[in-house]
Structure 1
Amino acid sequence: MNQPNIDVDYLVAQLKALLSIDSPTGYTDNAVRYCSRELERLGLQPELTRRGAIRAVRQGGSREGARAIVSHIDTLGAQVKALTANGRLALAPIGHWSARFAEGARVTIYGYEKILRGTILPLKASGHTHNEEVDTQPTGWDFVELRIDARTTSAEETMALGIEIGDIVAVDPQPEFLDSGFINSRHLDDKAGVAIMLAAIEALGRSDAVLPVDVHWLFTIAEEVGVGASSVIMPDIASLVAVDNGTSAPGQNSSEFGVTICMADQSGPFDYHLTRKLVELCRENGIDCRKDVFRHYRSDSASALEAGHDIRTALVTFGIDASHGYERIHLDALRSVSELLTRYVTSRIEIARDAEEFSDVRSFTRQPAPKTEPKS
């Protein structure tokens, strides 16, 4: 069997296309439609949940004990919290991100009847007026406002523009793709993960790869608010690998290059056997790999387990610098993670009992233990 080769140009093209479509949690329909069309073009038949999470199954040798790969289409954003007396907008964040990174952002306001543009600014934005107070004012969502690019100086005039409390605010990604392989943009979490999955699917379609079990390619729409993969997991699935961002920062072992495999996040350790398999696949295939632990982090896998799904979970990541801010990644990591996915879905099944929901202890897995075990 020829190992699938990742088309890096295709991966980059998909990331650029995804970044051009606003998709903060709660406003993902357009991105869902785009991904569904691309999956169809790649020969899969996407199925959508009521709210728009996507499942596309590529058939393998067996339906039971299926594998699943998941990333999320939704991004961070904001909602209109109030129309203020000066005609501007108070905001509430969608997802967890700092208002420090919101300051200066260009945005789109999605009203029911009208779409407008604007800028998020600190309450004291003019140095000519506030002097040193522009530097000493606090940081937080209570200290920023959205200036609308329309004639308005009062709440009443803003309301007349068609803007209401609860309207979605999408933040411009401002992407920049450099010849060095570095990519700077907002919303790389997790548009890059979606592009990685599409590139793996595309590579598998060009190869003669044989899948030992069905693979469910999943794209969720509410990971940033903690819901994620709670409602898109089918009973056939035995293992779930989430594709998301690693945290390249001081005190972390994540890298912007190669694959970073998360050993644990705030929800606890990932599955011992599945994580070990992914590490071994990296080593066997010459894929640069390192491990890390994320303390203030959760992914689609956590929501799947919390929903009651008895599945093995793992998290493979591409290192992001300044996660949930103005993010930076490197193309090497995107290609490496995509390569790992193709190696994983074509690898042999090692835990045959996972095809059954329940089985006896004789077929149960083993972890390393001292040579002498206590007798029962």
Structure 2
Amino acid sequence: MTQDLAYIIDTFEALVNIPSPSGFTQSSIEYVKKEALSFGYSCEKTEKGGLIITVPGKSDDTLGLSAHIDTLGAMVRSINEAGTLNLLPIGGYMMEAIEGTYCNVHTRDGRTYTGTISTTMPSVHTYDDARTLERVPKNMIVTIDECVSNKADVLNLGVQSGDFISLDPCFVHTESGFIKSRHIDDKASVAVLLGVLKSLSDQGSVPKNTLKFVISNYEEIGHGSSYIPSEIKEFLAVDMGAIGADLNGDEYTVSICAMDSSGPYDYELTNRLIKIAQEKGINYAIDIFPHYGSDVSAALRGGSNIRGALIGQGVHASHGIERTHEKGLQATFQLVMGYIETGF
């Protein structure tokens, strides 16, 4: 394993264990900021809490690269008389993907309580309809790990409607090179971009173009990079490659997305990424993701005058317990480095 890849995986593990559902990303943003500052690069926060890292280049022509730090999660909707919590999801996932998941409830005054997400009929030994109950938010609850028996007990803990719920990532790195975890989408790509920053810093490299690394914090709910600095002319979203029955990518490749639910990505820039992958012998796939949007999608909807493209390591079972491989992370890192070296 290369030093760059080892750093990326270690950084991903650290990041994925920092709770950060959309709207609750302050701690993870601070982690990224601390890393970027340690490499000698300036940082600024956006008004909505995202982060922009600047790498001065030989030219003022500016390339933007993005990854999003926010993840799926939930929020406390209400408290039941039995002392359990009703929830509403943050981000788009199947309720089946969180059934049985350990979680944390984060109060507005800074306390954290552990718990478990289940259906309202969590045992086949007790409920006739446990198997057939529809898995929808109204049928899901959180049972917190405190000695509570009613709503008043829960309120006395400081838990209330509007508290954030984060999901246990369940991170595992296998000897065969697989990384299994929630939130590979997209903390793995944040780690890739930090790996790029570390590599540039270690080499003392001054890129051809000035670089703006945009770490967005609301991508999972659709408006992550709706604002980006106006000097950015090209914008590359580093996210994830979906894996499915009629798709070409896998966990060992970097996916280059030609089109997603927001429409086609920039023809010239996408072609240039394909050419870079071919010339550098990077394992890649070209795909279309009809149920997908990205930070580039948000930037374009926000009115940015940019050329945009989307890449990312192939991820199995996205928005669930996801899986990718070291080779996919390495290919994504290599393509980002190749893109920066080529510039425009």
What TM-score, normalized to structure 1? Answer: 0.89
Q: AA paired with 1:119?
A: T
| Deviation for aligned residue 1:328 | 0.5
Partner of 2:225: 229
Q: Deviations over 1:204-225 (max 9, x none)?
A: 2222544221011110111011
Note if 1:307 corresponds to 2:298.
no
Q: Is the 8 A contact 1:6 1:200 kept in 2?
A: no
Q: Is the 8 A contact 1:6 1:203 kept in 2?
A: no
What TM-score, normalized to structure 2? Answer: 0.97
Partner of 1:160: 156
Matches within 5 A, 1:290-305: 290-305=285-300
Partner of 1:32: 29
Structure number with the higher strand fraction is 2
Q: Is the 8 A contact 2:44 2:52 kept in 1?
A: yes
- Greater CA drift, 71-80 or 252-261: 252-261
SS at match of 1:183: strand
Alignment match of 2:59 (pick from 59, 62, 66): 62
Q: Deviations over 1:248-274 (max 9, x none)?
A: 121222211121100000000000000
Note if 1:278 corresponds to 2:273.
yes
User: Within 2, Cα distance between the matches of 1:169 and 1:241?
Assistant: 30
Q: AA paired with 1:105?
A: T
Matches within 5 A, 1:1-376: 7-63=4-60, 65-113=61-109, 114-131=111-128, 133-207=129-203, 209-231=205-227, 233-349=228-344
Root-mean-square deviation (CA, aligned residues, Å) is 1.2
| Deviation for aligned residue 1:57 | 1.0
Q: AA paired with 1:188?
A: I
Q: Is the 8 A contact 2:66 2:236 kept in 1?
A: yes
Unaligned runs of 5+ in 2: none
| Deviation for aligned residue 1:6 | 6.2
Partner of 1:353: none
| Deviation for aligned residue 1:229 | 0.6
Structure with greater Cα Rg: 1
Q: AA paired with 2:55?
A: R
| Deviation for aligned residue 1:348 | 4.3
Q: AA paired with 1:76?
A: L
Percent identity of equivalent pairs: 34
Query: How many residues of Structure 1 are paired with residues of Structure 2 in the alignment?
Result: 342
Q: Is the 8 A contact 2:249 2:284 kept in 1?
A: no
User: Within 1, Cα distance between the matches of 2:38 and 2:343?
Assistant: 28
- Greater CA drift, 294-303 or 42-51: 42-51
User: Within 1, Cα distance between the matches of 2:177 and 2:29?
Assistant: 27
| Deviation for aligned residue 1:156 | 2.2
Q: Deviations over 1:295-352 (max 9, x none)?
A: 0100100110011001000001111111001100111111111111111111142xxx
When residues 348 and 194 of structure 1 are mapped into structure 2, their CA distance, relative to the original with a 3 A threshold, is: closer
Q: AA paired with 1:339?
A: Q
- Greater CA drift, 166-175 or 109-118: 109-118
Q: AA paired with 1:128?
A: H
SS at match of 1:230: coil
Q: AA paired with 1:342?
A: M
Partner of 1:374: none
Unaligned runs of 5+ in 1: 350-376
